[in-house]
Amino acid sequence: MSSLQQVNPRVRGMRTSPHAALQSLAARITQEITQGAQRSFKEVIDLTSGDPQRAGMKSISFVRQVLAACLCPHLLKDTSLPLDVRLRAQSLLDSCDGGSVGAYTPSAGLARVRQSIAEFLTRRDAGAPSYSRDVYISAGSQVALMLLVKLLASGEGETPTGVLTPVPSPHTLPGLLDEEGVTLVPYRLTEERGWALELSELHRALKASRGHCNPRAIYVSNPGIPTGHVQDRKSIEEVIRFALTNPSLSLSLQVYQDSVFGSEFVSYKRVLFQMDKVYSESVELVSFHSLSSGRMGEGGLRAGFMEAVNMDPEVTRYVHVMLCFDISAPVTGQLALDLMVDPPKPGDASYDTYTQEILSARATLSHNAQRAWQILNGLPGMSCQPAMGGVYLYPSVRLPAGILEQAEMLGVEPDVLYCQRFLQEEGVLVGAGLHHGGDTHHLRLCVLVPPDSLEEALTRLSSFHLRLVDRFSQCEGQRRARNSQREDLSVS
């Protein structure tokens, strides 16, 4: 057997996820259209990716202009670029070894950028101190989270590590935990209360995990992915108290913190440092942010960061070691992080354009979320909680008995079958939700797309859903009529 054939059994046993299967089907349909296949639609609309620029949203001019000047330093003398763009580009290049974005950086990231992030966090958290030594830059928040999960994972033969994880959660999280041999300990968010995080549910999940694993961390997503809920201060305080009395690391994914439109975003660290010292000096907290999410939408630049609070110095040493193995985030991504956390200020030449572009993106997101919420709640069998932040809506759908039976025969989840049919018949890709038990299922829709694309997708969804409900209602009626006839014949 060759070395390439000796695949890790864990990898060999992995099945294609429903998300990957739907994306593959969408790619195949797109290719067929390109090759001349006749369909009722001319293109596939993707409402799953959370990638705003792929969906057609525009990039932020200031970010691209500064990066252009960093990549091509001769532009530093080009007066067609705003002065603050050229000054920032020169300053960033000065922080790079050799004055070039082609040079390596320290494993944890450029010192200049880590300091900018620490200053941003201090401002965001009302003066709660942040230090550049506690900031680690990685190739996206997912890589940083994976690094922490690796550190948490137990050794071979030991009781497996558990992580308390919300249901629903980001669709990539279960696979990430499984890959590292970490047990997912589910705690359910309360849908009818706007996907609220209930303290009683955390205690239930912790109790249920006993004997199966050793829970060492609690994972929270705020704003919620894919639910769009935003935790209030009281809820965050409850989680922090829970983390202290049930020793566990708090992992807070806050990548949509700048995309809150129906509430106020308050960070976990800000709340932690406004509580008593018994909490602020004891609870271990790691929070994550990223370029790819929210108003920046620069996923292709592959950069994010995490901040570690109250982490044992011995653990931070291992973080540095593991970052060395992962090399470091691309330099252009690191520079873009600097621009994200320290944007143009009033009086700067780029300030007005930057502000207009940011407000436009936020207005689009807010409008789209409200519009989709109205349409979804108007469809029979659908119910959707309003989103307060993030870029997703997560409607529940009660599917007809007929499609449930078909899904069982085909060996797929009913919501996956719904998404497959919707994609094949109407050319819109939406995500299937996690099954929460009972007779309801869920869909995942990204609404940070151009408004005309969303409107077209919602029109297609309405048409498909009403057609599906009507089709299976007729089938159910015919089946009942046949059963009634059989009963009459048996009686006679």
The secondary structure element, H or E, covering residue 306 is: strand 304-309
483 pLDDT higher than 60: no
The secondary structure element, H or E, covering residue 31 is: helix 18-34
Cα dihedral across residues 338, 343, 344, 345: positive or negative = negative
pTM above 0.75, yes or no: yes
**Of 309-318, 323-332, 346-355, which gets the smallest average pLDDT?**
323-332
- What are the residues facing 382 on neighbouring strands? 397
The three-point CA angle 14-15-21 to 5° equals 140
- What are the residues facing 163 on neighbouring strands? 184, 217
Categorize the per-residue pLDDT at 471 as very low, low, confident or very high, splitting at 50, 70 and 90. Answer: confident
Coil, strand or helix at 42: coil
**Of 2-11, 307-316, 436-445, which gets the smallest average pLDDT?**
2-11
pLDDT at 16: 66
Residue carrying the six token digits 């000796």: 6
* Cβ-contact 144, 305 below 8 angstroms: yes
Mean pLDDT of the region 181-195: 95
Tokens coding 45: 């609309």
Coil, strand or helix at 2: coil
How far apart (Å, rounded) are the C-alpha atoms in residues 225 and 203?
22
Categorize the per-residue pLDDT at 297 as very low, low, confident or very high, splitting at 50, 70 and 90. Answer: confident
Please name which of 233, 251, 225 lies closest in space to residue 388, comparing C-alpha atoms. Answer: 225
pLDDT at 56: 87
pLDDT at 5: 45
99 pLDDT higher than 90: yes
Categorize the per-residue pLDDT at 321 as very low, low, confident or very high, splitting at 50, 70 and 90. Answer: confident
pLDDT at 381: 93
User: Residue 215, preceding bond cis, omega within 30 degrees?
Assistant: no
Structurally, at CATH architecture level, domain 17-46+358-483 sits in: Alpha-Beta Complex (3.90)
Boundaries of every domain in the chain: 17-46+358-483, 102-341
How far apart (Å, rounded) are the C-alpha atoms in residues 459 and 193?
28
Q: Which residues contact 151 (CB under 8 A, 6 or more apart)?
A: 315, 318, 319, 322
Give percent of the chain with pLDDT exceeding 90. 71
Q: Do domains 17-46+358-483 and 102-341 have the same CATH topology?
A: no
How far apart (Å, rounded) are the C-alpha atoms in residues 361 and 482?
55
Q: Which residues contact 241 (CB under 8 A, 6 or more apart)?
A: 279
Mean pLDDT of the region 133-161: 86
Of 9 and 294, the structure prediction assigns the larger pLDDT to 294
The three-point CA angle 26-28-31 to 5° equals 110
pLDDT digits (tens, 9 = 90+) for 422-445: 999 999 999 998 766 666 799 999
Of 317 and 251, the structure prediction assigns the larger pLDDT to 251
Coil, strand or helix at 216: strand
Tokens coding 283: 């609870």
Categorize the per-residue pLDDT at 28 as very low, low, confident or very high, splitting at 50, 70 and 90. Answer: very high
Give, as one character, the DSSP assignment of residue 13.
T
Could you tell me which CATH number the domain at 102-341 has?
A: 3.40.640.10
479 pLDDT higher than 70: no
Can you give the C-alpha Rg of the chain in angstroms? 25
> Would strands 183-188 and 161-167 be described as parallel, antiparallel, or unpaired?
parallel
Coil, strand or helix at 451: helix
How far apart (Å, rounded) are the C-alpha atoms in residues 434 and 439?
13
- Average confidence score pLDDT of the chain: 89
Mean pLDDT of the region 60-76: 97
Half-sphere exposure of 384 (CA within 13 A, CB side): 26
pLDDT at 356: 96
DSSP per residue over 268-279, as a string?
HHHHHHTS-HHH
- What are the residues facing 440 on neighbouring strands? 398
126 pLDDT higher than 50: yes
- Single-letter residue type at 56: G
Give, as one character, the DSSP assignment of residue 99.
G
How far apart (Å, rounded) are the C-alpha atoms in residues 429 and 411?
21
How far apart (Å, rounded) are the C-alpha atoms in residues 388 and 370?
10
pLDDT digits (tens, 9 = 90+) for 352-382: 999 999 999 999 999 999 999 999 999 999 9
